[in-house]
Amino acid sequence: MKALIAYLSYSGNTDEAADVIECRLRQAGMAVERHRIGVDAPIDAARYDYIFLGTFTWEEGSTPEEVKDFVLEVGYKPDNIAVFGTGDTQFGGDDLYCLAVDKLKHFYHSKWPGLKVEQSPRGSQERKIENWVGGVINSGTKAARESKNTGTALSK
Ligand SMILES: Cc1cc2nc3c(=O)[nH]c(=O)nc-3n(C[C@H](O)[C@H](O)[C@H](O)COP(=O)(O)O)c2cc1C
Handedness of CA 39, 66, 24, 136 (dihedral sign): negative
Residue 54 has pLDDT above 50, yes or no: yes
Contacts of 139 (CB under 8 A, 6+ apart): 111, 112
Tally of residues, the chain: 156
Residue 102 CA to ligand 1 center (angstroms) comes to: 14
For ligand 1, whether the C-beta of 104 sits within 6 Å is: no
For ligand 1, whether the C-beta of 17 sits within 6 Å is: no
CATH of domain 2-155: 3.40.50.360
Tell me if 41 sits within 8 A of 8, measured CB to CB. Answer: no
- The span from the CA of 138 to the CA of 135, in Å, is 5
Other CB atoms closer than 10 Å to residue 15's CB: what's the count? 20
pLDDT band of residue 87 (cuts 50, 70, 90) is very high
pLDDT tens digits along 104-154? 999 999 999 999 999 999 988 999 999 999 999 998 665 555 655 554 444
* Domain assignments of the chain as residue spans, ordered by start: 2-155
Report the run of H or E that residue 23 belongs to, with start and end. Answer: helix 13-27
* pTM for this entry: 0.93
